[in-house]
Amino acid sequence: MFKEKKRISYSGVIAILSVALIVVIIGSVALGRYPISIKELAGIIGSKIFDIEPFWTKTQESLLLNHRLPRIILACLVGCCLSAAGASYQGIFQNPMASPDILGASQGAGFGAALAILLHLSGSMIIVFSFTFSMLTVAIVIYTGTRAKGKRVLGLILAGIMIGSLPYSGTSFIKLVADPEDQLPAITYWLMGSLNGTAPKDVLLALVPMCIGLVPLFLLRWRINILTLGDEEAQTMGVNAKRLRIIVILCATLITAASVSVSGLIGWVGLVIPHLTRRMVGHNYKHLMPASMLFGAIFLLLVDDVSRNLLATEIPIGILTSFIGAPFFIYLITRDGERN
């Protein structure tokens, strides 16, 4: 079914990516204005299990457990989810340019976050509002798209474009009426995407919906291969294409909404990473999905390391991912040869 070029075996790629992720995580812990060595990292983590005499400061322990480690974990989770969502959308829509915001999830999340900031709500409520409006936007898109005449896939994409413009316009209006001294900078910064200020509670808020969405996508990944062949071919193979597509869309939307609600708008990851991963493991979703998850986690963690260490002032992640994604987009639509 799939023509594969000679490359490193799938198990070899997964092993390399897994080791790379561990190395990047350890390196990320050490990076920062207050360095933490590998020995101190092992000691602090080990002290929660064994009785170890502290050879680190209380400041280092608090920084690691309450700020740096939660941020590292969240960066890995967001990168993993956005990559998995992008790969899923590209498969079910049979469109190499599909990304996690194709159905308006990001636009809805941006509106929810902006509204929460305008109402002076807490950080946790910003996450809740962002997640809720993201899911609500996609629900309206699915309702509209499945009732449109013609091809269902095209109907969903068009509905995503049209309905996604509504919360985007709402966000623009909120920025217009927001306090320019306080609320407008906060909204603007959130929309650029950042993991700054990540706390353990943020990881816990996002972890449950992320797991609920990721597990089915991982288990159903081989069926996405069938969807890429078209609905008629899927029917002949005994697969209910409509039901499977809705399940994948819901799961991909869930992890996208959970990611965007805690990180802000981080573009390009869901578009770029699946395409780069295909060059390593091929088009088979049985291999592509796990590799994309690992590669996405590595990529976003590296970008976050650059974000918080390159300059004295932290650079929003969305700016950095755009610097990488935009040139890749140009390459993708102008390259010769086979298109995905």
User: Does residue 332 or residue 211 have the better pLDDT?
Assistant: 211
**What is the CATH classification number for the domain harbouring 136?**
1.10.3470.10
Residue 6 has pLDDT above 70, yes or no: no
Assess contact for 299 and 165: CB atoms under 8 A. Answer: no
Tens of pLDDT, residue by residue over 18-41, are: 999 999 999 999 888 888 888 999
Spatial separation of the C-alpha atoms in residues 322 and 334, rounded to whole Å: 18
DSSP summary character for residue 229:
T
H helical segments located in the chain: 10-30, 38-46, 58-63, 69-92, 105-118, 123-145, 152-177, 183-192, 200-219, 221-227, 231-236, 241-263, 269-281, 285-309, 317-334
Give the model's pLDDT for residue 106.
93
Contacts of residue 316, defined as CB under 8 A and 6 or more positions apart, other chains included, come to: 189, 192, 193, 194, 264, 307
Assess contact for 113 and 125: CB atoms under 8 A. Answer: no
Spatial separation of the C-alpha atoms in residues 334 and 329, rounded to whole Å: 9
Mean pLDDT of 87-114: 91
* Alpha-carbon dihedral sign for residues 245, 247, 248, 249: positive
Residue 81 has which token pair? Answer: 């989810």
Task: For tokens 């594969």, name the residue.
Answer: 4
Q: Number of folded domains in the chain?
A: 1
Mean pLDDT of 176-203: 92
Assess contact for 132 and 124: CB atoms under 8 A. Answer: no
Residue 277 has pLDDT above 80, yes or no: yes
Mean pLDDT of 240-268: 92
Residue 5 lies in a domain: no
User: Which domain range does residue 148 map to?
Assistant: 10-334
Give the model's pLDDT for residue 208.
94
Task: For tokens 């081989």, name the residue.
Answer: 222
Determine which of 4-8, 33-37, 252-256 has the lowest per-residue pLDDT on average: 4-8
Residue 121 has pLDDT above 70, yes or no: yes
Phi-psi sector, 121: left (phi>0), alpha (psi -120 to 50), beta: beta
Residue 284 has pLDDT above 80, yes or no: yes
Residue 332 has pLDDT above 70, yes or no: no
- Write the single-letter amino acid at 187: I
Give the model's pLDDT for residue 33.
81
Assess contact for 217 and 88: CB atoms under 8 A. Answer: yes
Mean pLDDT of 105-132: 94
Residue 201 has pLDDT above 60, yes or no: yes
Residue 191 lies in a domain: yes
Residue 330 lies in a domain: yes
Give the model's pLDDT for residue 7.
62
Residue 1 lies in a domain: no
pTM score > 0.75 for this model?
yes
Give the model's pLDDT for residue 188.
94
Spatial separation of the C-alpha atoms in residues 195 and 17, rounded to whole Å: 23
Give the model's pLDDT for residue 311.
83
Tens of pLDDT, residue by residue over 57-84, are: 888 899 999 999 999 999 999 999 999 9
Spatial separation of the C-alpha atoms in residues 267 and 193, rounded to whole Å: 9
Residue 338 has pLDDT above 50, yes or no: no
